[in-house]
Amino acid sequence: MSGNPILGVDRLSMRFGGIVAVNDLTFNAERRKITALIGPNGAGKTTVFNCITGFYKPTSGAMRLTHEDGRAIQLERLNDFRISKLAKVARTFQNIRLFPGMTALENLMVAQHNALMRASGLTFLGLIGAPSWRNAELAAIDLARTWLDRVGLLDRADDAAGNLPYGDQRRLEIARAMCTQPALLCLDEPAAGLNARESAALSELLLSIRAEHGTSILLIEHDMSVVMQISDHVVVMDHGVKIAEGTPREIRDDPKVIAAYLGADEEEAIAVMESGT
Ligand SMILES: Nc1ncnc2c1ncn2[C@@H]1O[C@H](COP(=O)(O)OP(=O)(O)OP(=O)(O)O)[C@@H](O)[C@H]1O
């Protein structure tokens, strides 16, 4: 790792009554890299996302987002709205959360609500059709169309989001998040429900987002082909704790990781690895 983290998670814990969903978790996500957070069902991955994005207030611990100019923001002190606005953290959800009755283009315009509200002078400039407002609106439409094009949905711009095939809706969610021009893009199982061809296209899209926009990506994903192909760094959780981290290759060969996924003990896992199955 290069040592230029955009996100530093430090001793994060989250309890729900007697359940310790995340227990003393520490890791970094490097700038302009793809960091994957993996682990078996119930490991605590989505809870980590919910803490980073302000949906949950962590029981303890700190999460520092450092912008390119050195400005650091303690995420645990902010609510979700301010995390998205000030820290420029965007996310997608495990279950698609588009506005199904709005068109694909409208979904991407809604994502730019903050910028448009500012440009409208909190409505007044918009009402009188001031040039500054019209320019901002045109820029927002332009950005939305650029992202529709990037995810291959420009020809579906005027279709209701809810009528798009499942894989298209997943890509539209990513486009919507990118319209907020995030510094850190958090994706919760973006490949869920996709077929092999769609998963490969998703991998290409995420690699191009990293390369062309320099966006840092934090990814929860069960599809190991995607994780292995695109991740720069992988953090593995089990039962709320970090059990390993490293490159995809290091993780793939780590007996603790294999054991966690197989639900087997370490000896069994090594036997599985050595048998090459
Ligand atoms: N709001 C909540 N209230 C109570 N328990 C919760 C809550 N959210 C998560 N949990 C519990 O915390 C643990 C971790 O859940 P979490 O959803 O973070 O795991 P995960 O790794 O994302 O799982 P999956 O891969 O299945 O999505 C689970 O035992 C879950 O039941």
Is 124 near ligand 1, meaning CB less than 6 Å away? Answer: no
Strand, coil or helix: what is 62? strand
Q: Which of these, 109, 110, 107, 93, lies nearest to 162 by C-alpha position?
A: 107
Instruction: Report which protein residue has its CA nearest ligand 1's atom 28.
Output: 42
Spans of all domains in the chain: 1-88+183-248, 98-181
Is 23 near ligand 1, meaning CB less than 6 Å away? Answer: no
E strands, 41-159, in order: 60-66, 72-74, 89-91
Is 39 near ligand 1, meaning CB less than 6 Å away? Answer: yes
Q: Which residues of 200-233 are buried (b: 16+ CB within 10 A; e: fewer)?
A: ebbbebbeebbeeeebbbbbbbebbebbbbbbbb
Residue 277 is predicted with a pLDDT of 44
Q: Give me the tens of pLDDT residue by residue for the chain, a chain 277 residues long.
A: 558 999 999 999 999 999 999 999 999 999 999 999 999 999 999 999 999 999 999 999 999 999 999 999 999 999 888 898 899 999 998 877 889 999 999 999 987 876 666 655 555 555 556 566 677 778 889 899 999 999 999 999 999 999 999 999 999 999 999 999 999 999 999 999 999 999 999 999 999 999 998 999 999 998 888 999 999 999 999 999 999 999 999 998 899 998 888 665 555 555 545 554 4
Which ligand 1 atom sits closest to the C-alpha of 94? 27
Residue 137 is predicted with a pLDDT of 78
Q: How far apart are CA 97 and CA 258, in angstroms?
A: 33
Is 45 near ligand 1, meaning CB less than 6 Å away? Answer: yes
Q: Ligand 1 centroid vs 59 CA: distance in angstroms?
A: 15
Q: What's the predicted TM-score (pTM) here?
A: 0.88
Q: Ligand 1 centroid vs 144 CA: distance in angstroms?
A: 33
Fold of 1-88+183-248: Rossmann fold (3.40.50)
Widest Cα–Cα separation across the chain: 72
Q: How many angstroms from the chain centroid is the CA of residue 230?
A: 14
Is 12 near ligand 1, meaning CB less than 6 Å away? Answer: no
Amino acid letter at 239?
Answer: H
Which ligand 1 atom sits closest to the C-alpha of 48? 18
Task: For a ligand 1 pocket test, name from 9, 12, 23, 47 the mutation site with the most ligand atoms within 8 angstroms of its C-beta.
Answer: 47
Whether ipTM exceeds 0.90: yes
Q: Which of these, 53, 133, 44, lies nearest to 88 by C-alpha position?
A: 53
Task: For a ligand 1 pocket test, name from 45, 52, 92, 238 the mutation site with the most ligand atoms within 8 angstroms of its C-beta.
Answer: 45
Q: How far apart are CA 141 and CA 75, in angstroms?
A: 30
Instruction: Report which protein residue has its CA nearest ligand 1's atom 14.
Output: 44
Cβ neighbours for 131, distance < 8 A, ≥ 6 positions apart: none
